[in-house]
Structures are given as structure tokens and as C-alpha cells.
Amino acid sequence: MGKNTLNLNGGLYEYLLSVSLRDDPLQKKLREATDKLEWGIMQISADQAQFMFLMLKLINARQVIEIGTFTGYSALVMARALPEDGRIIACDIHEDWTNTGKQYWEQAGVAHKIELRLAPALETLAQLVKDGHSARFDAAFIDADKGNMLNYYEYCLKLIRPGGLIMIDNVLWGGSVADRNINDDDTNAIRATNRFVYQDERVDISMVPVGDGLTLARKR
Ligand code: CA
């Protein structure tokens, strides 16, 4: 005991949630609606969202980039962590998914903080750099197609300020990253990103075993 991260089994995860998850009816409703969708499993867990909320609060984030908005759950929670004049540039290509999110953003009164960009995220990110927004953002959340994970990371590193935070989702990929017999493109792309970020001296890092694994990288 003490040297390894605890296994959250045998009711321990339920205990953790029972004394730490501060849920909200609207967030719960969106989670449940998303769970019913074909790709509902892509949604981040409620405790991970709360962790990200806290991270944004800790760094006083005002400007955030989200890559992979899906049905808008993480954008909803992150927007609530931002001040009234805060802004999330939310990147996705699936309007049917983001339309779900929009309804909830409006109900929560945070829609004015979320600027949806329906285009391939690499195009949106390149445009932000071109428009002179480098080092203007406080944080980024990367949670989209895994083949581009490293490209998204590079753009985000450019767009956030020194001291800003990049959060990369799915870095443990259901455990696949540690299984040598699994060598599909997504798993390999995640492994490559993990190795790269590990050796990247431009950032301070921690890989947090929350949800499906979340890397925190703070720009030096
Ligand atoms: Ca994810």
C-alpha cells in the first residue's frame, strides 16, 4: 500500500463519488441523454468533468479551446468554471451532436460563453494561429480523433500562454496502451502522443488516472 494508485473497486469508486461528486440536475440530464446515443460511451465521466472544472478555476481560466465537443457535456461544465466574459472555442464536425449540447448550454445560461466552430479542428486551430491568437488561451481540452492527437497538442501548445494548461483525454485508452497485442492506429497514436509529451521539455506534466486517463501538461 502507498506505492501504487488504488484500484477503485469493491465499492470504493462509489464511495469516492458519494463524498465528492457535486452533481447538478442539468448536467445529469445531459449525461443521461448522451448515454442513450450510439456513441454515448465517448462522454467523459462526471467526476472527470468536476476535476477539469476545478483545474480551470485554479488557473483562473478565461479563454479555453475544446477539441471534440460531442454532445457538449464537457463544454457545459467548463463554461460554468469561466467568468461571465470567458469563452470556449468548441471544435467539432458533427452538428447533430453539438445541437444537443446547444440546448443545454442555453438552459444553463452559458451559451454566450461557447463559440462553436463546426469544421475540422486542424483548420480552426490553424486559423486561430493565423489570426494572431497564439499564447492567448489559458487552457485546452483535447478529446477528438486520436490519429490527430499529437497535431492538436502542438497547436494547443502554440495557442496557450506560458502557465496555461493542456488536458489530453483517453491517454490510458481502456488499458489498451499497455497491451502489446493491441496495435491498431488509434492505440498507437495515443502511445506516440504519450511518449512525446513525456519527453517534451516545454511542459510540466502529470498523467492522472481519472476517467480513461487524463494528461495535464502545463506550458513552461
Ligand atoms: Ca474522450
The domain that contains 83 carries what CATH number?
Answer: 3.40.50.150
Task: Provide the number of structural domains found in the chain.
Answer: 1
Q: How many CA atoms lie within 13 A of 17 on its CB side?
A: 13
Q: How far is the CA of 172 from the centre of ligand 1 (A)?
A: 10
CA–CA distance, 166 with 69 (Å, rounded to integer): 15
Q: How far is the CA of 45 from the centre of ligand 1 (A)?
A: 9
Q: What is the pTM of this model?
A: 0.97
Q: How far is the CA of 73 from the centre of ligand 1 (A)?
A: 11
Q: Is residue 37 part of a domain?
A: no
Evaluated on CA atoms 218, 97, 172, 78, the torsion sign reads positive
Q: Is residue 50 part of a domain?
A: yes
Q: How far is the CA of 57 from the centre of ligand 1 (A)?
A: 21
Q: Is residue 92 part of a domain?
A: yes
Q: How far is the CA of 128 from the centre of ligand 1 (A)?
A: 23
Q: Is residue 97 part of a domain?
A: yes
Query: What pLDDT digit, counting tens, does each position of 26-48 carry?
Result: 999 999 999 898 888 888 999 99
Q: For residue 57, what are the domain limits? A: 45-219
Q: Is residue 137 part of a domain?
A: yes
Q: Is residue 35 part of a domain?
A: no
Say if residues 157 and 219 touch (Cβ distance below 8 Å).
yes
Q: How far is the CA of 144 from the centre of ligand 1 (A)?
A: 7
The Cα diameter of the chain in Å comes to 51
Query: What pLDDT digit, counting tens, does each position of 166-183 carry?
Result: 999 999 999 999 999 999
User: How much is the mean pLDDT over the chain?
Assistant: 96
Averaged over 3-16, what is the pLDDT?
91
Q: Is residue 31 part of a domain?
A: no
